[in-house]
Amino acid sequence: KAGVTQTPRYLIKTRGQQVTLSCSPISGHRSVSWYQQTPGQGLQFLFEYFSETQRNKGNFPGRFSGRQFSNSRSEMNVSTLELGDSALYLCASSLYMGVETQYFGPGTRLLVL
């Protein structure tokens, strides 16, 4: 089976812009979770989607949002980008909601200038 894929792999944006990141889970997986990884804060949970519904959300401002489509693919959006949003954004998929084993994609590296 193909693994989790994320596009794009790299992005450069400027402050104030918005960005959309995409994640395609492993075939058959229905849950998608998003994480932000920075050198200072480490890995932090953003949100989890299952059956097109957000099931859990981390402690991030409303500028961070996401959605899931009927084919389980997910997108996350960050509006009004700030310098501190520069990070590696990781997507993980699992068969079902919850802490079933999560398999990660290669990540999208976002740089905000």
- Contacts for 58 with CB less than 8 Å, ≥ 6 apart: 44, 45, 46, 47
Q: Are 75 and 20 in contact (CB under 8 A)?
A: yes
Window of 21-29, 62-70, 79-87, 103-111 that interacts with another protein by CB under 8 A: 103-111
Rule CB under 8 A: is residue 58 a binding residue for another protein?
Answer: yes
- Report the 10 Å Cβ neighbour count for 78: 25
Window of 19-27, 62-70, 77-85, 101-109 that interacts with another protein by CB under 8 A: 101-109
Characterize the bridge pairing of strands 64-68 and 74-78. Answer: antiparallel
Task: Give the count of alpha carbons within 13 A of 82, CB side only.
Answer: 6
Min dist CB 43 to another protein, Å, is 4
Rule CB under 8 A: is residue 19 a binding residue for another protein?
Answer: no
Window of 13-21, 60-68, 78-86, 88-96 that interacts with another protein by CB under 8 A: 88-96
Residues within the interface to another protein (CB under 8 A) = 33, 35, 42-43, 45, 48, 55-56, 58, 88, 90, 92, 97-99, 101-107, 109
